[in-house]
């Protein structure tokens, strides 16, 4: 990046206290002192600690310019602003206009990270493409992503996350997407949004900044969204499996390492994705719609999907040294997502026994017991050999299942009993067995995955 002091002052509407010449440029923008390098602009943000307290450390690490809400000592080069977070967002908007890539915004209760990864893989076959790194998808992460993209970026794929109403509207207005996509409406954050309808309304905020000639992509099987698109002026494309959508898929085959499908729009073409599950085919359909809109050749789109890299902890296959397969999906969970993966895992033809480890799904509010119980219909003793339920909220599911499952096949552990659960699970599993783990990130099932890998070395 090259942003001059003059540009930054104008973009953030700040007061210039910079020692450097106005034409001198910063090469990166950072809010974490651990990432500051020579010629960085440091933006101190207020969180658990006030980033202003780390300004000396940032300067020592190489930052030559700082945004600050405070008056700083003489000899420090800074731009005075009223609010450093707002200034960061304004600077991102300026840089976005300067680079002027096409912008794709992706949100949804589940699958947005995978869809982002697939979309980047499809577009990067034909364009210089940059995407949200990791989970930098909020009011800080999104502007940081924008400011981190190379100046020759042609396509910018932005993941948009939220906890509360109004948050995606902010992200959409910062980024002004050309295409906006909603993967699905689940139950994540229903504690704060009240209902699935409230979640759908919050996800539809992605249209707040959508360009007038832009495109909105939604699932064809979501009536909540269908009702909300009646009055929007932009084009609406739909996707689904076995449905009359703009882009519809038929699944040809599913294994634990790949899924093949064909579509109504690209007749005679068979697409392959290196992940399991029909729900991931839906994510791939979004990527294909976006690639098609930007005229990426079908052969390149096929290659992009077949070789895309999935962000860590998203439905990741691992294997212990003694031959136990682990399907780790421990980054987040809501009832819709948990049921989708359970159905796919249950249907897989595997050599050994099937184990599942399910932890609490958080932020479900007063509906928590009911929603945990709803998972019971997706766990069959004919398809699952051993069930491990972890966390206080999983007790309601345990109470439903323990009479349906054979004696000795279902186990319940409270949050304080993680070590006991890990030990018992590890001792129970044998080579050629497969275990699927899923829970909200706050339940820390990644620790269970690591324990299994180490204990079966």
Does the annotation list 109 as a binding residue? yes
Higher pLDDT, 73 or 67: 67
At residue 257, does pLDDT exceed 90?
Answer: no
Task: Let me know whether 362 and 434 are in one domain.
Answer: yes
Task: Let me know whether 330 and 426 are in one domain.
Answer: yes
Task: Let me know whether 117 and 8 are in one domain.
Answer: no
Task: Let me know whether 337 and 400 are in one domain.
Answer: yes
| Section 8-36 average pLDDT | 94
pLDDT digits (tens, 9 = 90+) for 34-52: 999 999 999 999 988 999 9
Decide which of 290, 307, 324 is a domain's last residue: 307
Does the annotation list 315 as a binding residue? no
Least confident of 119-128, 163-172, 327-336, 382-391: 327-336
For residue 93, being part of any structural domain is answered with no
For residue 96, being part of any structural domain is answered with no
For residue 92, being part of any structural domain is answered with no
pLDDT digits (tens, 9 = 90+) for 113-125: 999 999 999 999 9
Q: Which domain CATH number covers 396? A: 3.90.190.20
> What is the Cα–Cα distance from 211 to 173, expressed in whole angstroms?
10
- Describe the crossing of helices 167-175 and 84-99 by its angle, rounded to 10 degrees: 40
Residue 231 pLDDT: 87
> pLDDT tier at 85 (50, 70, 90 boundaries)?
very high
For residue 160, being part of any structural domain is answered with yes
Does the annotation list 112 as a binding residue? yes
The answer to whether 29 and 41 have CB atoms below 8 angstroms apart is yes
> What is the Cα–Cα distance from 23 to 18, expressed in whole angstroms?
11
Task: Let me know whether 144 and 257 are in one domain.
Answer: yes
Mean pLDDT of the chain: 94
Does the annotation list 110 as a binding residue? yes
The answer to whether 3 and 26 have CB atoms below 8 angstroms apart is yes
Give kind and range of the element (H or E) at residue 382: none
What is the C-alpha R_g of the chain? 24
Residue 191 pLDDT: 75
Q: How many domains does the chain have?
A: 3
At residue 106, does pLDDT exceed 70?
Answer: yes
Residue 73 pLDDT: 87
Task: Let me know whether 46 and 110 are in one domain.
Answer: no
Residue 313 pLDDT: 59
Task: Let me know whether 284 and 156 are in one domain.
Answer: yes
> pLDDT tier at 391 (50, 70, 90 boundaries)?
very high
Least confident of 18-27, 64-73, 431-440: 18-27
Task: Let me know whether 267 and 398 are in one domain.
Answer: no
């Amino acid at each position: 990046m090259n942003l001059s002091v003059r540009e930054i002052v104008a973009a953030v509407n700040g007061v210039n206290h910079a020692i450097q010449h106005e034409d001198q440029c910063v090469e990166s923008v950072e809010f974490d002192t651990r990432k500051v390098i020579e010629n960085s602009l440091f933006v101190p943000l207020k969180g658990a600690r006030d980033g202003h307290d780390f300004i000396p450390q940032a300067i020592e690490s190489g930052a030559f310019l700082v945004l600050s809400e405070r008056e700083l000592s003489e000899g420090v080069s800074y731009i005075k602003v009223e609010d450093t977070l707002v200034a960061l967002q304004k600077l991102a908007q300026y840089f976005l206009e300067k680079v002027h890539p096409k912008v794709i915004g992706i949100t949804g209760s589940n699958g947005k990270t995978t869809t982002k990864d697939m979309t980047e893989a499809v577009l990067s076959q034909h364009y210089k493409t940059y995407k949200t790194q990791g989970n930098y998808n909020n009011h800080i992460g999104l502007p940081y992503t924008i400011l981190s993209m190379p100046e020759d970026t042609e396509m910018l794929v932005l993941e948009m996350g939220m906890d509360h109403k109004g948050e995606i509207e902010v992200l959409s207005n910062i980024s002004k997407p050309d295409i906006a996509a909603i993967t699905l409406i689940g139950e994540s954050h229903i504690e704060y949004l009240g209902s699935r309808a409230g979640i759908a309304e919050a996800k539809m905020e992605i249209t707040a900044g959508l360009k007038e000639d832009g495109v909105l992509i939604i699932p064809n099987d979501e009536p909540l969204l269908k009702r909300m698109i009646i009055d929007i002026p932009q084009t609406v494309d739909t996707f689904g499996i076995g449905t009359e959508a703009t882009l519809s898929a038929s699944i040809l085959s599913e294994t634990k390492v790949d899924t093949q499908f064909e579509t109504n729009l690209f007749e005679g073409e068979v697409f392959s994705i290196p992940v399991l599950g029909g729900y991931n085919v839906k994510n791939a359909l979004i990527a294909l719609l976006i690639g098609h809109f930007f005229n990426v050749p079908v052969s390149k789109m096929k290659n992009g999907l077949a070789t895309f890299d999935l962000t860590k902890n998203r439905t990741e296959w691992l294997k212990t040294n003694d031959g136990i397969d682990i399907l780790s999906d421990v980054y987040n969970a809501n009832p819709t997502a948990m049921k989708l993966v359970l159905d796919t895992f249950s249907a897989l033809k595997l050599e050994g026994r099937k184990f599942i480890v399910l932890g609490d799904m958080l932020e479900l509010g007063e509906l928590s017991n009911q929603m945990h119980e709803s998972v019971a219909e997706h766990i069959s003793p004919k398809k699952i050999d051993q069930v491990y339920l972890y966390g206080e909220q999983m007790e309601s599911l345990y109470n439903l299942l323990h009479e349906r499952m054979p004696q000795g096949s279902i186990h319940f552990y409270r949050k304080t009993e993680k070590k006991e659960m890990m030990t018992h699970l590890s001792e129970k599993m044998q080579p050629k067995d497969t275990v699927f783990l899923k829970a909200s990130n706050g339940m820390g099932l990644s620790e269970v995955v690591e324990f299994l890998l180490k204990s079966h070395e």
